Structure formats: structure tokens, C-alpha cells
Chains A and B, each alone.
Chain A
Amino acid sequence: MPKYEPILLKNMMQPGYTGSLPEYERAGGYQALRNVLGKVTPAEVTAVVMKSGLRGRGGAGFPTGVKWGFLPKDYQGPRYLCCNADESEPGTFKDRQLIERDPHQLLEGMLLACYAIGAASSYIYIRGEFVLGAKILEAAIKEARAAGYVGKNILGTGVSIDIWVHRGAGAYICGEETALLESLEGKRGLPRVKPPFPATHGLYNKPTVVNNVETLANLPHIMNRGAEWFASIGSPPKSTGTRVFCVSGHVARPGNYEVPMGITFRELIYEQAGGMRSDKKLKAFIPGGASAPFLTPDHLDVKLDFESVALAGSMLGSGGVTVMEEGTDMVWAALRLMEFFYHESCGKCSPCREGSSWLVQIMRRIVNKRGRMADLETLTDLCKNIAGRTVCAFGDAEVSPILSTLKHWRHEYVTYIHAAEAANLIRPEPAGAKH
């Protein structure tokens, strides 16, 4: 038996559960929808979600009910819900499991959210690589439509909600909500300047809510069991409920673990994920996806909730915990992540577009033992001039691997540079040299 009661993963942990409609219904599925549609007002649904303390599971952790509350109340035209299933943050693989193993849980959550915000159309923006996930969702929507849960006049209540699957085509930035909307409109996925926010000017310039898969999957449970129940789990008052943490890297049992927020990293890594894979000790871990600054063994007793991780100088982000053992080269690790950000920078803002390329070049120079001490200053300087100077949060994210490894493992950079100096490799480079 698992130590903590699973909520989102409960159904799929039953042996033989396939996620089909009859099985989901047998497990109590679509009961929340039956109890809500036509019986509870949309405003009351929003109030329950607000009271539950549910916060976005995609990375930013914005309170879901508050986000819904930003939609203009007197607006008569169409509104939209977009489910963000563009799971691309390195280290994160929870939405994939929620989609492929229990698709109706997500659909029910979407229907409840649509009802609360008054949306008649909704789109699941799923990353293009999840071909299987898109097929499973399409089959599930078909089942739900045939059973009267999706489409016109749902369960005879007069409420009509439609759901479509829209596949992305390989762009990390489309997980940023306004880039997602651009992409859904058939354009390049470039984040929009905010304000205006999607709540007033979203998809097709109409009021829109964008919520992550895990966020939406929580809704049926909140409506079934109540806001008080949800708010009592985890680390109230600010981090309520469970999170599906994705543990990867050098642990014995990598995978998805659903635990209440507020347990420590030590418990997640050593009890849930079985500890390190060998007798090498833990050297570093990333607490919330590639965008979150690295932490050290000193931070193992930090609690897994939004505030505690922020206080430790990082962020809970998307819940992707990556563990690195003793012997991992931190300069190499930072370069790998930097290469990711360089590849994925959308090119809209010059600090990020040019800066990411410069950062990668300097990092490669250091790793190739051609670096010099002044490079460390240049790295820091560049990072400080990218963060906070871009349209979206990507700029803040891309500097975190370098800044945090420089902070905790500066000596490893210095060792590379000393090796370069000792070998007398540093000579003026020919103009246009690339690393």
C-alpha cells in the first residue's frame, strides 16, 4: 500500500485499469459532472475551487479559482478553455501519464472548468510528440460524446461543451500560455506582450483560461469531496493538495510519485524513489524542472511546497525533480540545459535570442578547456542582463542552470579554466571562431 492516499493516480494504480469510459464510471467517474451541471451555479463552482486553494500545476503556481475570476463577468461573446498539455519542461513527465492512463479524469475536469467559466468550446493543446496521448484523448472524447458527456445539451441540462485535441509540432515555448494561444491560432509560437492577459484577450482575442492537465484533473475530486477536504491535504494554507512529482536521474526507482505537498525532498528521493541508484552520494538536484535553479544536499530537508522551495532559492515549478550523484560534472550539466534553452529560445526578444547563443558559446569554450577567468564574469553579467528583460519567463528560466551552478560549484568552473591555463591553450581566437 502506498504511504499516502493517491488522488489523481488512484484509478490507474488498480491492476488492469485501462481508462475506458465504463471503467472510469465504475470508479465513480463523471459523478462530479452529474452533481454540478444544472444543480450548482458556475459562480459556486469557482468559489469552491478558490476555497480549495488549488494552484496551477504547470509551473507558475497561480491560484486556479482566482485565474477564472479574472474573466469579464458581463461579456456576452464566446469564451474558451485551453488545456495545456504541451508538457515540455525537461524533467517532467506527469501529464503524459495522466493523459494516457486516465483520459476521462482530465475530460471531466475540463467540462467542470468550462461550466465554471462559461466556455462552450475547449481545446487540448498537446505536444506533437505525444501521438499516442492524442489518439487516446480523441478516442476518449468520442466515447464521452456518445455517452452524452460532451457535445450539445449534456445530460439533458441544456449545457453544451465541446472538446477538441490540437497537436503542437515541437516547440518548448508553446507551453507558455500566450505562445500556446498563438500556436493554436496557426502562427509561430511567440509569447504575447502582457497585459492584456488571456483572461480578457486570449484565444481569438476572446476571454480565455489556460490550465495545466494536472490542475484540471484535480477538479472532479474537489467537486466530489469538497474544498475543505482538499485544503486539508498538503501544506495549507498556500500549498494544498497533492502533486505528482516526476523523479528522474540517478535514483533507484525513477518515476511519478503522487504525494501531498509539504513532504521533504529527502522523503521523496530516499523513500518514494528508493534512494540513489548506487553507493555514490547525492551531489545536486533540480527541484522543479529545467527552469528551476539547482539545489545541494544541504537542501534535502526543504519541504516540497511552493513557499519553502522559493525560500531555498529555487522553485517548485512543474514538479520535475532531477537527481545527480557524486561525480556528475556540474559545468557539463549546466551546459546541457543551456543547450536546451538555446535550441528552444523562440527568438522574439533579443536578450534571450542572442544571450542564449553567447552563453552556450562561452560554456562550450570552458568545457573545451579554452576558457579564462574573465569568462565567469561575462557569464554572470550576461545572465543578469537576460533575466527580467524578456516578454515571457523563459529569460528568467534560461539563466538559472548557469547562475545556480556558478553559485554552488564555482570551483568546478575554475578547475576547467586552470586546466586550460596550465596547458597554455588560451590564445587569441581567430575572428568568427565557434565552439
Chain B
Amino acid sequence: MLKEKYQAEIDEILSRYPVKRSALLPLLYLAQREEGYVTETAMQEIAGILKLTPPQVYETATFYTMLNLKPVGKFHLQVCKSLMCALVGSDTVIGWIGTKLRIKPGETTQDRLFTLSIVECLAACGTGPMMQVNDDYYERLTEEKLDRILADLRQTGTSSLKTGPFMWPEPSGAKS
């Protein structure tokens, strides 16, 4: 149960808003962080905390694409396919990932490590093609870079190729 484990965090979230329902998205994120996806039990518990009906929680949860209502792999690869990324090769990236991991968009590898999703614009249009893996952005993808990212993720759970604070083009005098 979320409440027993995260009472302090839940109280802090509730304190930010004058109306309880505003805490719904933050609490759904908390539930997703805990289990990897939003379970029905969690939605019922959140409804109890916020004094909402379970359908009120469910209707909100189903509106937002970042809330997973089904389990996903340990690494959720989300490749942008909107026009700006497509102009610079996002379809190729989707093809590479598909061949390397032998999964189609929407599928998860058998070892439950990787899920491939195709998503719409992630606001990295100047540095496409790009993808988001869990919380991190990976930009200006090439086949070599992608190989390294997948290997890093398998071995260490993260990769040094992820993007830091964004600036593009990079300021003169900065390391590239």
C-alpha cells in the first residue's frame, strides 16, 4: 500500500494544492514509480486518499499517455516519430531497434528488459532523431550510438550518452 510506505511524501504532495484532486497526477506517478505501471489497486487507493470515486481516477489516468496501465519492460524506449524527427531519420532508428531487439513497436522483449514505443514530439526537434528511455533523453542518434546505449543499459542500467541540461547549438568554448 502506498499510504503506509510513502505517508510523508503523500502529505507533502497534498500540501501543495488547495484542492485535493490536483494531487491526482503526482500520486499516479508515485504509483507508477512503485510498480512500474499504475495498477487497479493503486488507483482505488488513490481514490480513497483524494476522496474521489475510482472512475474519476480511472478516467484521468487513461487520458495521459505517460501513465502505463500495463506492465512495460525495465527500459521503455520511446522513439519520436513526429515530422521534425522523421525528416532526419527517426524511421531508420525505429527499424534499427526493431532488428536489434527483435520487437515491433508496442512489444516487449522476452527478458522483459526493453519495451519499444513510438511517441509524438518530445521537444528535441533540433537534435533528432531522438528517444526517451525512462526519464532520460538520448539525442542525435546514430546506429553506433544506439548500440552503445543498448549495451550500457543492459550492463549498468543507465548510459553516459544521455542528454544533460539542454543547449543547442552548444555555446562556443564548451566541450563538445
Please, which residue of chain A has its CB at the minimum distance from the CB of B171? A13
Describe B's contact surface by its main secondary structure.
loop
Cα–Cα, bound, A415→B21 (Å)? 53
Cα–Cα, bound, A375→B111 (Å)? 46
A333 pairs with B25, CB closer than 8 A = no
Known: A15-B174, A129-B132. A186 touches B66 (CB 8 A): no
Tell yes or no: A69 within 8 A of B by CB: no
A189 pairs with B63, CB closer than 8 A = yes
A97 pairs with B125, CB closer than 8 A = no
B168 pairs with A97, CB closer than 8 A = yes
* Segment from A249-257, A363-371, A416-424 that makes contact with B: A249-257
Please, which residue of chain A has its CB at the minimum distance from the CB of B52? A186
A122-161 residues with Cβ-Cβ distance < 8 A to B are: 127-132, 136
Cα–Cα, bound, A403→B128 (Å)? 26
Residues of A within 8 A of B83 (CB): 90-91, 290, 322, 333, 336-337, 340
Residue interface bits B1-35, CB-to-A below 8 A is 1, else 0 = 00000000000000010110111111011000000
Q: For chain A, which range describes its interface: under 10, 10 to 19, 20 to 34, or 35 or more residues?
A: 35 or more
A392 → chain B closest CB, angstroms:
15
A132 pairs with B137, CB closer than 8 A = yes
Cα–Cα, bound, A179→B26 (Å)? 17
B120 pairs with A127, CB closer than 8 A = no
Tell yes or no: B122 within 8 A of A by CB: yes
Q: For chain B, which range describes its interface: under 10, 10 to 19, 20 to 34, or 35 or more residues?
A: 35 or more
Residues of A within 8 A of B173 (CB): 15
Cα–Cα, bound, A315→B1 (Å)? 50
A129 pairs with B123, CB closer than 8 A = yes
Tell yes or no: A394 within 8 A of B by CB: no
Please, which residue of chain B has its CB at the minimum distance from the CB of A164? B16
Tell yes or no: A263 within 8 A of B by CB: no
Q: Which residues of A are in contact with B by a Cβ distance under 8 Å?
A: 12-19, 78, 87-93, 95-97, 100-101, 121, 127-132, 136, 164, 166-172, 183-189, 204, 246-250, 253-256, 290, 320, 322, 324, 328, 333, 336-337, 340, 343-344, 346
Sample (9) of A-B pairs whose CB atoms are under 8 Å apart: A16-B174, A128-B66, A169-B64, A169-B65, A187-B60, A256-B167, A322-B87, A340-B82, A340-B121
List 10 A-B pairs, minimum CB-CB distance, nearest first: A169-B64, A186-B24, A170-B66, A186-B21, A170-B65, A15-B173, A248-B125, A254-B126, A131-B135, A100-B165
Query: What 15 additional pairs, Cβ within 8 angstroms, besides A89-B121, A171-B64?
Result: A12-B167, A12-B171, A91-B121, A93-B127, A93-B168, A96-B123, A101-B165, A128-B64, A166-B25, A169-B25, A183-B25, A248-B126, A255-B126, A336-B82, A340-B120
